[in-house]
């Protein structure tokens, strides 16, 4: 099967000029037009929407079914926190693989621009009995991991700042990104400290928008335009309690056990033995620069111990050109990643959409020359959910 179409609204702090239905209508219409299908071809719809309180509307997806497909299509909502968008894609794939649908629209909707503040909402996703009192939010949960990475592997505050500056610079070429900031490492380090060691410019913004994918069975695709073939995709879950993930054989809180399993399976399905050499583009779902490094070892880009050196090489590789292509191995985050736009429900789907555009050679100014194979990650629920999705220009088994 393949991703036959991609549709994205721009991602902005708020789309005050658009209703929720407008956002979904635009993204889904663009994806269907891109695929050469119309709404009558849609067999099922999967909606990705993360916590309702971000938009302040309960079950907001119910109100926008009509923007995606005609009445009658089976409809499912998926929510795995930050991984919602990739989980929606995997659910859509599962419907196709099971023979229950040939053409599925998966859309992910984020309306958090309506929230006056998000951290208070994010505090409510944590356990109210044992943990919520201790200012757990998306920022502090990321900061707990960042400090552990520093203690364990020797990352420094400068690594976080340099990676943030790199992602923001790459986003300058992405018109869909919410933030377009050309920042020096010093400027990042001088931005306000949110929760040690995370500074404001090392944290994702609040963004809203919609992303849509058309997933279609291979036998529905002959004669259509270039598509992004799915070569491998997997998603795994982990134990909930963060405190249970320090002392255990499978890996600590910063080892992303779930992403390691997902990448292993997706690579095996795709026949990839040496990911650092065989993959051209990586889109990592990391809303904080410090979170990005946790994905490198599971993706096979470096060992955990070599992480700081890998970051240094990534930064050095950008020196001069700033295209993101001079580093070791694949190009990481040509879109700028979630640092420049984080519409929570959609962010993991955007990684897949960006990889689809890359392997089709349709990524505009952010296109990586000669990209044929790409991997997208999804990450959610306090590193509880991970997915990996390998896309390529050629169908599995060759053209």
Partner 1 sequence: MTDTELVTVDGVWNFQYRYFAGETASRFFAELRDERRIVGRRCPGCQRVLVPARSWCDRCFLATTEWVAVGTEGVVEAFTVLTAAFPGLPEPPLAIAYVTLDGAGTALLNFVDGLDLADIDASAALLLDRPRVEVMFHDERHGRMTDFHFRLKD
Instruction: Catalog residues that contact partner 1 under the rule CB under 8 A.
Output: 16-17, 53, 56, 114, 116-117, 119-120, 123, 128-131, 133-137, 139-140, 143-148, 150-151, 192-198, 200, 239-244, 246-248, 253
Mode of pairing for the β-strands spanning 2-8 and 209-216: antiparallel
Backbone angles phi, psi at 174, to 5 degrees: -115, 100
Query: Based on CB atoms, which residue is closest to partner 1, 267 or 288?
Result: 288
Burial bucket for residue 58 (CB in 10 Å: 0-12, 13-18, 19+): exposed
Residue whose CB is less far from partner 1, 130 or 303: 130
- Residue 140 CB, shortest distance to partner 1, in Å, is 5
User: Closest distance between partner 1 and the C-beta of residue 176, in Å?
Assistant: 22
Cβ 259 to partner 1, closest distance in Å? 19
Helix 157-171 and helix 307-318, axial crossing angle in degrees, nearest 10: 40
Closer to partner 1 at the Cβ: 108 or 142?
142
Q: How far is the CB of 289 from partner 1 (least distance, A)?
A: 15
Which of residues 103 and 112 has its CB atom nearest to partner 1 in the complex? Answer: 112
Q: Which is nearer to partner 1, 237 or 323 (CB)?
A: 237
**Nearest to residue 312, comparing CAs of 162, 146, 157, 199?**
162
Shortest Å distance, C-beta 335 to partner 1: 27
The residues, any chain, with a CB within 8 Å of residue 138's CB and separated by 6 or more, are 118, 119, 122, 287
Rounded Cα distance between 176 and 273, Å, is 33
Helix, strand, or coil here: 378?
strand
Q: Minimum Å distance from CB 116 to partner 1? A: 7
Q: Give the span between the Cα atoms of 294 and 169, in whole angstroms.
A: 21
Least separation in angstroms between residue 225's CB and partner 1 is 32
Nearer to partner 1, 106 or 139 (CB): 139
User: Min. distance of Cβ 127 from partner 1 in angstroms?
Assistant: 9
For residue 75, the SS3 value is strand
Residue with smaller CB distance to partner 1, 29 or 119: 119
Output the 3-class SS for 317-336. HHCCCCCCCCCCCCEECCCC
Report d(CA 122, CA 58) in Å as an integer.
Answer: 15
**Strand order from edge to edge, sheet including 373-380:** 75-78, 44-48, 103-110, 209-216, 2-8, 228-237, 385-392, 373-380, 281-283, 331-332
Q: Which residue lies nearer to partner 1 by CB, 16 or 319? A: 16
Q: Are 108 and 46 in contact (CB under 8 A)?
A: no
Q: If we measure between CA atoms, which residue out of 157, 382, 77 comes closest to residue 256?
A: 382
By beta-carbon proximity to partner 1, the closer residue of 148 and 265 is 148
Closest separation between CB of residue 196 and partner 1, Å?
4
């Amino acid at each position: 099967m393949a991703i036959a179409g991609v549709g994205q609204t721009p991602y902005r702090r708020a789309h005050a000029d658009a209703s929720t239905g407008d956002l979904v209508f635009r993204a889904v219409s663009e994806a269907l037009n891109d695929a050469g299908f119309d709404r009558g071809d849609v067999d099922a719809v999967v909606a990705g929407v993360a916590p309702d309180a971000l938009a302040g509307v309960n079950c907001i997806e119910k109100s926008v079914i009509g923007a995606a497909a005609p009445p009658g299509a089976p409809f499912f909502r998926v929510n795995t926190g930050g991984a919602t968008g990739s989980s929606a894609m995997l659910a859509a794939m599962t419907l196709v693989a099971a023979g229950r649908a040939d053409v599925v629209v998966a859309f992910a909707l984020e309306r958090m621009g309506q929230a006056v503040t998000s951290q208070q909402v994010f505090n409510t996703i944590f356990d109210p009995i044992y943990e919520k009192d201790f200012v757990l939010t998306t920022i502090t949960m990321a900061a707990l991991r960042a400090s552990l990475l520093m203690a364990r592997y020797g990352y420094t505050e400068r690594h976080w700042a340099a990676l943030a500056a790199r992602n923001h610079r790459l986003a300058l070429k992405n018109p869909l990104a919410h933030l377009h900031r050309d920042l020096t490492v010093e400027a990042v380090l001088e931005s306000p400290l949110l929760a040690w060691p995370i500074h404001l410019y090392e944290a994702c913004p609040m963004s809203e928008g919609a992303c849509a994918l058309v997933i279609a069975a291979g036998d529905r695709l002959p004669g259509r335009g270039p598509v992004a073939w799915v070569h491998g995709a997997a998603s795994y879950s982990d134990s909930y309690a963060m405190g249970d993930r320090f002392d255990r054989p499978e890996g600590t809180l910063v080892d992303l056990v779930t992403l390691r399993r997902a990448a292993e399976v997706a690579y095996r399905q795709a026949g990839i033995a040496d990911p650092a050499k065989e993959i051209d583009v990586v889109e990592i779902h990391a809303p904080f620069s410090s979170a990005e490094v946790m994905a490198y070892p599971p993706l096979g880009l470096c060992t955990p111990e070599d992480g700081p050196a890998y970051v240094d090489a990534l930064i050095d590789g950008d020196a001069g050109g700033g295209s993101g292509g001079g580093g070791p191995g694949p190009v990481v985050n040509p879109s700028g990643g979630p640092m420049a736009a984080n519409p929570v429900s959609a962010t993991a789907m955007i990684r897949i959409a960006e990889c689809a555009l890359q392997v089709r050679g349709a990524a505009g100014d952010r296109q990586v020359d000669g990209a044929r194979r790409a991997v997208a990650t999804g990450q959610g629920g306090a590193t509880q959910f991970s997915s990996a999705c390998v896309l390529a220009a050629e169908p599995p088994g060759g053209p």
